Every structure is written in structure tokens, then in C-alpha cells.
Amino acid sequence: MQLVVARIGRAHGIKGEVTVEVRTDEPELRLAPGAVLATEPASTGPLTIETGRVHSGRLLLRFEGVSDRTGAEALRNTLLIAEVDPEELPEEEDEYYDHQLMDLDVVTKDGTEVGRITEISHLPSQDLFIVERPDGSEVMIPFVESIVIEIDLEEQRAVIDPPPGLIDDRAEIVSAKEASSEEEA
């Protein structure tokens, strides 16, 4: 099975290095020198990682056959894809690969059906589940511990405890002034 592990950013310097947006919890395994990665678009690859280093908090990679800034810039926005055994599980207990989460049923902690995970969006601050509701509409659920309280792969479901307004239109809006007057009463 194929997993997107990174997206190539801009060129760095003049010797063919590129910045990468890491999309794996195991970059030391997936993005190590010698790793051969498929690409999207496929015509760009496969690419073999020649070197990797961290500079100012960003991962920089250089690929075999790419030795200048022009070659590096031509790779911009390319997705790097690793081949992973479908039976392989992440090292940490509370980590999941996207393929494990896709198509899970999403329910609230009281058992109310919310929908089914159809996509996982990886943002800089957090990941989001894109959930298709039974009526065909979509809702975005932040994949954070305070909201997604359980992932049960055996039962094929994700249990959530959403704050008011996340999955319905009945948000509780209370101003600080209203809250203090209610406490006084």
C-alpha cells in the first residue's frame, strides 16, 4: 500500500536541496538516505534520497541526480509516496496510518451517528477528519485528543465528544457579561 510521506517545498540553496513538508510520524524511517520513493505526479519519480538534514527546524533533502537549484525547483509541490506493508502498524499506541482511519464510522459518546470518515486533511497545526454525514453533507472534526476520545479499529469506529456547534447548528454562545450575571443569580 502507498502512503504520502511528504510534499516537496521550495529549493534551498544552489546545490539541489529542497525543503519538505513532512506528512509522516516516522520521518527518520521513511525519509532516510537511500529511500526510494514514488511520486505524484508519477513522471517526476521515482526519487532516491541522497542526503537529509535539519536546518532551522525544517527538513532538507537532496535527491540523486538533482544537483542544482533549477532541478530542485522543478520538484516543487511533488508528493513523496512510500510503499508500506498494509499489516504494518505505527510504533506508538495512539498513532494511526490514514488507511486505518478511512471509512471509520464516527459516533458521539452517547452513540449518535455522525457519519463516515472520507478524507484526512493534514494541516500544520492539526489533522482534520472530513466526515460525510448520512444526508451527504460534510463536517470537519479536528483529530485532537479532547474531541476524538476513542479510535476502535476492531469495531471500525471513532468516538467523539464534540464541543457545542462543531457538528450541529446549536452553538452555545455565552458572553463573559452573561456568564457573570448568571453566576450571580
Residue 125 three-state SS: coil
Taking the model in full, what pTM does it have? Answer: 0.56
Q: What confidence score (pLDDT) does residue 168 get?
A: 73
Q: Which residues contact 46 (CB under 8 A, 6 or more apart)?
A: 36, 37, 38, 39
Q: DSSP assignment, residue 168?
A: S
Specify whether the CB–CB gap between 139 and 128 falls below 8 A. no
Q: What confidence score (pLDDT) does residue 171 get?
A: 46
How many of the other CB atoms lie within 10 Å of CB of 163? 11
pLDDT, mean of residues 127-147: 90
Which tens digits make up the pLDDT trace of 52-93? 988 888 889 999 999 999 999 999 999 998 887 766 666 666
Phi and psi torsions of 118, nearest 5° = -110, -15
Which tens digits make up the pLDDT trace of 16-27? 999 998 877 677
Length of the chain: 185
Which tens digits make up the pLDDT trace of 86-115? 666 666 667 777 778 889 999 998 888 999
Tell whether the model's pLDDT for residue 164 goes beyond 90: no
pLDDT, mean of residues 154-160: 91
Single out the residue of 112, 115, 148 nearest to residue 130, CA to CA.
Answer: 115
Average pLDDT, the chain: 83
Q: What confidence score (pLDDT) does residue 92 get?
A: 66
Q: What confidence score (pLDDT) does residue 88 get?
A: 65
CA torsion, ordered 134, 173, 182, 177, to nearest 10 deg: 170
